[in-house]
Amino acid sequence: MTKYIGKSMSRVDGVAKVTGKAKYAAEYSAPDLAYGYVVCSTIAKGKITRINTDEVLQIPGVIQLFTHENRPRLACFDLNYKDQDAPPGSPFRPLRDEKVVYNGQPIALVVAETFEIARYAASLVKVEYEQEDHDTALEHNLHRGRGPKSGVASLLKSPPPKPRGDFEKAFQAAPFKTTGQHIHSVEHHNPIEMFASTVVYEKNGKLTIYDKTQGAPNSQMYVAQVFNLPFKDVRVISPYVGGAFGSGLRPQYQLFLAVLAALELKRSVRVSLTRQQMFTFGHRPATVQNLSLGATADGTLDAIRHDAIAETSRFEDYFEIVVNWSGMLYPAENTKSTYDLVPLDVFTPLDMRAPGGVTGVPALEMEIDELAHKIGMDPIEFRLKNYTEKDMDQDLPFSSKELRECFRQGAERFGWSGRKPEPRSMRRGHTLIGWGMATGIWEASQGPARAEAVLTVNGKLRVTSATADIGTGTYTIMTQIAADTLGMPIEDVIFRLGDSDMPLAPIEGGSWTAATVGTAVKVACEDLGKKLFKMAQKMKNSPFADVKQDDITFADAHIRLKSDPSVAVSLLDIVGTNGGRAVSETSTSLPSMLEQRKYARAAHSAVFVEVEVDEDFGTVRVTRAVTAVAGGRILNPKTARSQIVGGMVWGISKALEEESVMDHQFGRFMNHNLSEYHVAVHADIRELDVIFVEENDTIVNPLGVKGLGEIGIVGMPAAVANAIFHATGKRVRSLPITLDKLL
């Protein structure tokens, strides 16, 4: 019974968001709140030899200056500092000692009575360093590449696949081949809400923390373990998150510093980062990729080689799935791939929207386009000829794959049949027109999660799970799932999230929340339904006394007999028999691994892009784009469309604008602000169209959803680059494609 699932619905948190009532981490107040302001290092490597603490403490209104010299004793094992998304290695510990390991490292926290005084005092902190030589340039250190260390994180991120066939031989023999080096530099997430933590020091010494995070339980665990506090004394609350895109998967350093200050001062403290400081932690790693593709005379893709080298920090081995995608997209018989890391004097990279996917797939899809061009085949025709129904590396069939339908419907909506195949063959006056397309893919995964469903005494359904909504629509889709599962009118259902006191859910990322938490919500509501049914059976003169669970249904806030819906008991009456108490059930959902492991599971997309390129100036505009998505069941087309549109905007932004530029002399990002780190703005975005192709999948999870957070971005950069090639005849393999590369 689905009255709400699948229906376009406005967000349940919409009014809060348009009226300014939705409160984010830095917007909670507390009596006697003090303000912390972070001081960051200005060198990339070396030692702090002196900080003018005494002078700073003389400033009226300054309460304390925390540095490595006066920080309290904290947990000493690496394990205590590991969060749910920690890669193998030794996590960074703020204020650990005098060592500086990257430029922008937090080295002091000024705490003052007002934000203004803290900011001013921080500007007067003088630091003397003993500087050492640093190395931050990936391109100069490619020879140092080595395989990533393994750790717990490797369980979720598969290593490069084993080679198949004989790549060298097949590539040598191939009549059509292409080889290219693809480079993109560092990118930063830059959610518009900057990282902040408001730590409320309660009268009993417990902490209530409002934190910007993609997982309240993750922040709770981190704080409890690092500061050696009982879990029950640390509550993390995060009902609204002003964007994160992966940056909130790990606790950021303002959380550590705010908690440290609050505990030491026994006072509530807020620490917010500045936009400049948003460039001083995890980022999408700069990556260099070499690809070689070979095809036979009839256009059969026969050989693929994909080698990637990415940067990481000196202390952790962050790694991504970059070179594994070709085996999921193309049935080439001969393949070889490697993935290596180069440790540099930078902070550890961090998952950023479609980590690895939007690195590896665009490079692959640009070379596929190049190869199709060399063969003289239409890019869609080439992809259809080399279509795979199974994941070649795992040798498993897909649980569902409607990519063919994505090509068909996307091409039709875009008008692809009107494309002239030759580059530089389409123009409007002085402007070159290019039409390009590409495929996208992202794995559909599900994790374990818990949820609680409560039927209140006044007959409302309240469901909770400690997950997050970073703009993804989690509040809304969970409300829909709960309402349908227990047959409740949606206005009588409330879903809450973002509180470590709630039943445990994993960090919200990787497009798995709809599947993971959605299933937990469904199971909790089903279990509550079973409990309510049993209670209904025990009611006086119950019409269900001899009825089996299979013979009833939940509809309109009643339990009804399937064969005769007029035989019914209202949920309100059932809860009324509970002695004035609500009825609740907490459930755990686990993925059915036995069934799932027999299949490869992924969402697919086909992306079509039109660009205009000014022939003289090399300026590129994406004038329109169509994305056709096969993402399983669509729970809410309205919020789902927003997810895909957002991904498409990110893809355009990545293809044409985004790049954190480092001055390697200082090992520091130069464009650390939103006027110089370019992201797409209103004027950059024109017509974006989204098609959801029907796709039924009974394997991925009980809801049949695949998750949509990443699939919108993955195919986009290559589609833009391929359109630019079609417009100009220039194959630019380094992103972003700025005008200087086209002149």
Nearer to another protein, 43 or 603 (CB): 43
- Closest separation between CB of residue 401 and another protein, Å? 26
* Interface region with another protein, contact rule CB under 8 A, candidates 57-65, 332-340, 454-462, 593-601: 57-65
Nearer to another protein, 219 or 472 (CB): 472
> Which of 117, 517, 603, 620 is close enough to bind another protein by CB under 8 A?
117
Binders in 474-533 for another protein, by CB under 8 A? none
* Interface region with another protein, contact rule CB under 8 A, candidates 48-56, 363-371, 384-392, 430-438: 48-56
List C-alpha distances in Å: 324 to 163, 179, 320, 456: 11, 18, 10, 48
The phi, psi pair for 569, rounded to 5°, reads -130, 135
What span, in angstroms and rounded, lies between the C-alpha atoms of 570 and 459? 9
User: For tokens 């339908």, what's the residue?
Assistant: 405
Nearer to another protein, 231 or 617 (CB): 617
> Which of 6, 42, 78, 149 is close enough to bind another protein by CB under 8 A?
42
Q: Check binding of 315 to another protein (CB under 8 A).
A: no
Q: Check binding of 98 to another protein (CB under 8 A).
A: no
- Closest separation between CB of residue 281 and another protein, Å? 16
What span, in angstroms and rounded, lies between the C-alpha atoms of 654 and 30? 40
Question: With helix as H, strand as E and coil as C, how does 657-689 read?
Answer: CCCCCEECCCCEECCCCCCCCCCCCHHHCCEEE
Nearest-10 Cα torsion for 270, 276, 280, 281: 60
The CA radius of gyration of the chain, in Å to the nearest whole number, is 27
736: cis peptide before it, omega within 30°? yes
Binders in 130-159 for another protein, by CB under 8 A? 130-132
Nearer to another protein, 17 or 597 (CB): 17
Q: Check binding of 99 to another protein (CB under 8 A).
A: no
- Closest separation between CB of residue 22 and another protein, Å? 5
The DSSP H or E segment spanning 218 is: helix 216-226
- Closest separation between CB of residue 648 and another protein, Å? 7
Sequence-distant (≥ 6) Cβ neighbours of residue 673 within 8 angstroms: 275, 276
What span, in angstroms and rounded, lies between the C-alpha atoms of 666 and 688? 40
Nearer to another protein, 145 or 473 (CB): 473
- Please write down the long-range contacts of 89-92, taking CB distance under 8 Å and 24 or more positions apart: 89/149, 89/151, 89/313, 89/315, 89/316, 89/317, 89/348, 90/315, 90/316, 91/315, 91/316, 92/253, 92/313, 92/315, 92/316, 92/347, 92/348
Residues facing residue 431 across a β-bridge = 428, 614
Is 710 designated active site?
yes
Nearer to another protein, 49 or 181 (CB): 49
The DSSP secondary-structure symbol of 376 reads T
Q: Is the separation of the CB atoms in 452 and 437 below 8 Å?
A: no
Q: Check binding of 22 to another protein (CB under 8 A).
A: yes
What span, in angstroms and rounded, lies between the C-alpha atoms of 229 and 222? 10
* Interface region with another protein, contact rule CB under 8 A, candidates 221-229, 365-373, 501-509, 686-694: 686-694
Binders in 640-659 for another protein, by CB under 8 A? 641-643, 645-650, 653
Candidates 370, 452, 526, 710; catalytic one: 710
What span, in angstroms and rounded, lies between the C-alpha atoms of 690 and 596? 28
- Closest separation between CB of residue 46 and another protein, Å? 8
List C-alpha distances in Å: 300 to 174, 330, 333: 10, 10, 10
> Which of 378, 356, 360 shows the shortest CA–CA distance to 369?
378
Nearer to another protein, 403 or 656 (CB): 656
* Interface region with another protein, contact rule CB under 8 A, candidates 38-46, 332-340, 397-405, 417-425: 38-46
Query: Which tokens belong to 465?
Result: 């799970």
The DSSP H or E segment spanning 46 is: strand 46-51
Q: Check binding of 395 to another protein (CB under 8 A).
A: no
- Closest separation between CB of residue 455 and another protein, Å? 28
Q: Are strands 127-131 and 269-272 parallel, antiparallel or unpaired?
A: unpaired
Q: Is the separation of the CB atoms in 320 and 157 below 8 Å?
A: yes
Number of neighbours of residue 80 by Cβ within 10 angstroms: 17
List C-alpha distances in Å: 630 to 133, 412, 671: 50, 16, 37
Q: Check binding of 17 to another protein (CB under 8 A).
A: yes
The phi, psi pair for 117, rounded to 5°, reads -70, -40
Q: Check binding of 129 to another protein (CB under 8 A).
A: yes
Q: Check binding of 710 to another protein (CB under 8 A).
A: no
Nearer to another protein, 64 or 292 (CB): 64
Nearer to another protein, 274 or 586 (CB): 274
> Which of 6, 7, 74, 115 is close enough to bind another protein by CB under 8 A?
115
Q: Check binding of 11 to another protein (CB under 8 A).
A: yes
Number of neighbours of residue 703 by Cβ within 10 angstroms: 20
Residues facing residue 304 across a β-bridge = 293, 335
- Closest separation between CB of residue 213 and another protein, Å? 13
Nearer to another protein, 27 or 333 (CB): 27
> Which of 2, 32, 49, 168 is close enough to bind another protein by CB under 8 A?
49
Q: Check binding of 549 to another protein (CB under 8 A).
A: no
The phi, psi pair for 507, rounded to 5°, reads -55, 145
- Closest separation between CB of residue 242 and another protein, Å? 3
Q: Check binding of 14 to another protein (CB under 8 A).
A: yes
Query: Which tokens belong to 55?
Result: 């002078």
Q: Check binding of 688 to another protein (CB under 8 A).
A: yes
Sequence-distant (≥ 6) Cβ neighbours of residue 64 within 8 angstroms: 57, 110, 111, 261, 264, 265
> Which of 439, 447, 437, 387 shows the shortest CA–CA distance to 414?
437
Nearer to another protein, 108 or 557 (CB): 108
Nearer to another protein, 87 or 707 (CB): 707
- Closest separation between CB of residue 238 and another protein, Å? 12
- Closest separation between CB of residue 320 and another protein, Å? 21
* Interface region with another protein, contact rule CB under 8 A, candidates 26-34, 169-177, 310-318, 440-448: 26-34
Q: Check binding of 665 to another protein (CB under 8 A).
A: no
Q: Check binding of 120 to another protein (CB under 8 A).
A: yes
Q: Check binding of 32 to another protein (CB under 8 A).
A: no
Binders in 164-193 for another protein, by CB under 8 A? 190-193
Nearer to another protein, 145 or 410 (CB): 410
Tell me the number of residues near another protein by CB under 8 A.
Answer: 85
Helices 357-375 & 716-728 angle (0-180, nearest 10): 30
Q: Write the binding mask 408 to 447 for another protein: x where contact by CB under 8 A, - elsewhere.
A: ----------------------------------------
Q: Is the separation of the CB atoms in 226 and 81 below 8 Å?
A: yes
Q: Write the binding mask 268 to 287 for another protein: x where contact by CB under 8 A, - elsewhere.
A: ----x-xx------------
Binders in 233-252 for another protein, by CB under 8 A? 240-245
- Closest separation between CB of residue 245 and another protein, Å? 7
* Interface region with another protein, contact rule CB under 8 A, candidates 215-223, 430-438, 667-675, 722-730: 667-675
Amino acid, single-letter form, for residue 199: V
- Closest separation between CB of residue 440 and another protein, Å? 16
- Closest separation between CB of residue 646 and another protein, Å? 4
What span, in angstroms and rounded, lies between the C-alpha atoms of 668 and 660? 10
* Interface region with another protein, contact rule CB under 8 A, candidates 82-90, 254-262, 295-303, 636-644: 636-644
What amino acid positions are annotated as catalytic residues? 710
